[in-house]
């Protein structure tokens, strides 16, 4: 045992290289940030109601991205695999709900079983059933994918698993595009419940048929509220699951050190399957809500939201659940503001530019933990 002062004196003196001309980069970044803030404030002052409207649409997008991003971030946190097939699980979720609603009328089942039920309750229970069935189907799909495609490759080089993930993604997209599966057309989505919209202008008013909201009013719909509530609930649920439950502890342990977790008696394979299942369930939920909100589906539906959600997960710090949420909100806002004030086709470019700039300032994302130094 050495006395404390000896340990202190023998501690290595950190090498601090001189940083010349550091101001050049800082001025560059500050100028960019100032320009962005200036543009946003200018537009906000010019038309506050339009600005708030755009912020609301960005929130809607952001909350859907948050639902998908959770799956990416949890899977990456545990198996260090970029699960490219996740966006396609999201697409499958929306298609399943489409078939349940359009073909089987499942959203009306309480009315068949209990004929005297009030309409509101029928819609509520019916829609929840549709969402639940879609989520269960997505879970089954994701667990199957994990068993068939990823599990045999767990000890192979990481690139092999990545290529497999890309392959599974291609498979789901193009298998879905076959005529007897989903077909490759755009399909109008039949909603299980009607969209109700309100506008705010001297109080909240319902928008009914024939009523056009007066200028400078802010409109919002029930789907925005549903997506908001669902996303926040899922976030809280995951926080409790990961922080408070046994399986959450197992997930964190597996993510930290797979070998040690195995030695502690954790069934690592089960934990990984569980992670895929949870992620897929929320992707399925997101798929249904996305389809309800934007009312058009096709087999490549999952590519763009999946990519955005993945970027959101990276932006917030991949592996961190609140990070994914924050990243998704930033992503949604960036996309909505770009569509509103710059130009619609530039939204992807702006989103990725933000990603690259954030990664340059914080290399592991906003809430990410710094990478461990290779020993």
Residues in contact with another protein by the rule CB under 8 A:
17-29, 80, 82, 149, 152-153, 156-161, 163-164, 166-168, 170-171, 173-175, 177-179, 184, 303, 307, 310-311, 314, 318, 343, 345-346, 348-349, 352-353, 355-356, 359-360, 363-364, 371, 374
Taking each helix axis from N to C end, the angle separating 22-46 and 347-361, rounded to the nearest 10 degrees, works out to 140
Cα gap 311→315, rounded to integer Å: 6
Residue 155 CB, nearest approach to another protein (Å): 9
Cβ distance to another protein smaller for residue 18 or 209 = 18
Alpha carbon 140 to its chain's center: 20
Cα gap 278→290, rounded to integer Å: 18
Q: Which tokens in the block code for residue 26?
A: 């800082």
Q: Which tokens in the block code for residue 286?
A: 């997101």
Cβ distance to another protein smaller for residue 195 or 369 = 369
- b/e map 313-326, b = 16+ CB within 10 Å: bbbbbbbbbebbbb
Cβ distance to another protein smaller for residue 281 or 311 = 311
Cα gap 370→363, rounded to integer Å: 8
Cα gap 181→299, rounded to integer Å: 10
DSSP bridge pairs for 343: none
Q: Is 298 helix (H, G, I), strand (E, B) or coil?
A: coil
Q: Which tokens in the block code for residue 115?
A: 């004929």
Residue 314 CB, nearest approach to another protein (Å): 5
Residue 312 CB, nearest approach to another protein (Å): 11
Residue 303 CB, nearest approach to another protein (Å): 7
Residue 157 CB, nearest approach to another protein (Å): 3
- b/e map 155-175, b = 16+ CB within 10 Å: eeeeeebbebbeebbeebbee
* Cα distances (Å, whole numbers) of residue 157 to 147, 276, 372: 17, 20, 20
Q: To which H or E segment does residue 199 belong?
A: strand 197-200
Cβ distance to another protein smaller for residue 72 or 199 = 72
Residues 6 or more apart whose Cβ sits within 8 Å of residue 321: 70, 73, 74, 235, 238, 239, 242
Residue 129 CB, nearest approach to another protein (Å): 31
Residue 28 CB, nearest approach to another protein (Å): 4
Q: To which H or E segment does residue 141 belong?
A: helix 119-145
Residue 160 CB, nearest approach to another protein (Å): 4
Cβ distance to another protein smaller for residue 46 or 158 = 158
Residue 363 CB, nearest approach to another protein (Å): 5
Cβ distance to another protein smaller for residue 165 or 291 = 165
Residue 182 CB, nearest approach to another protein (Å): 11
Cβ distance to another protein smaller for residue 4 or 22 = 22
Cβ distance to another protein smaller for residue 67 or 82 = 82
Q: Is 152 helix (H, G, I), strand (E, B) or coil?
A: helix
Cβ distance to another protein smaller for residue 66 or 318 = 318
Cα gap 95→101, rounded to integer Å: 10
Measured torsion, CA atoms of residues 94, 97, 101, 107, in degrees rounded to the nearest 10: -130
Cβ distance to another protein smaller for residue 296 or 343 = 343
């Amino acid at each position: 045992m050495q006395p404390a002062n000896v340990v202190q004196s023998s501690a290595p003196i950190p090498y601090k290289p001189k940083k010349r001309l550091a101001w050049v980069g800082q001025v560059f970044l500050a100028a960019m940030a100032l320009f962005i803030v200036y543009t946003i404030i200018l537009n906000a002052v010019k038309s506050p109601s339009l600005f708030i409207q755009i912020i609301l649409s960005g929130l809607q997008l952001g909350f859907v991205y948050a639902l998908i991003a959770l799956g990416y971030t949890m899977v990456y946190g545990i198996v260090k695999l970029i699960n490219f097939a996740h966006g396609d699980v999201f697409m499958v979720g929306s298609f399943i709900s489409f078939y349940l609603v359009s073909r089987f009328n499942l959203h009306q089942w309480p009315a068949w079983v209990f004929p005297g039920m009030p309409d509101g309750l029928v819609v509520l229970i019916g829609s929840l059933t549709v969402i639940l069935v879609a989520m269960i189907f997505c879970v089954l799909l994701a667990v199957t994918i994990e068993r068939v495609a990823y599990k045999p490759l767990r000890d192979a080089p990481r690139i092999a698993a990545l290529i497999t993930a890309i392959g599974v993604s291609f498979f789901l997209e193009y298998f879905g595009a076959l005529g007897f599966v989903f077909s490759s057309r755009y399909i109008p989505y039949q909603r299980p419940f009607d969209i109700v919209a309100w506008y705010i202008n001297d109080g909240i008013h319902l928008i009914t048929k024939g009523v056009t909201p007066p200028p400078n009013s802010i409109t919002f719909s029930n789907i925005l509220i549903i997506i908001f509530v669902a996303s926040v609930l899922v976030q809280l649920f995951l926080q409790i699951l990961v922080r408070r439950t046994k399986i959450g502890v197992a997930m964190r342990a597996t993510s930290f050190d797979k070998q040690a977790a195995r030695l502690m008696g954790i069934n690592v394979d089960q934990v990984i399957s569980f992670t895929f299942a949870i992620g897929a369930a929320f992707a399925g939920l997101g798929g249904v809500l996305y389809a309800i909100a934007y009312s058009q589906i096709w087999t490549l539906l999952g590519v763009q939201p999946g990519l955005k959600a993945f970027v959101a997960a990276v932006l917030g710090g991949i592996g961190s659940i609140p990070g994914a949420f924050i990243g998704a909100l930033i992503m949604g806002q960036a996309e909505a503001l770009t569509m509103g004030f710059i130009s619609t086709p530039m939204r992807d470019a702006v989103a990725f530019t933000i990603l690259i700039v954030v990664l340059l300032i914080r290399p592991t994302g906003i809430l990410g933990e710094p990478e461990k130094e290779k020993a």
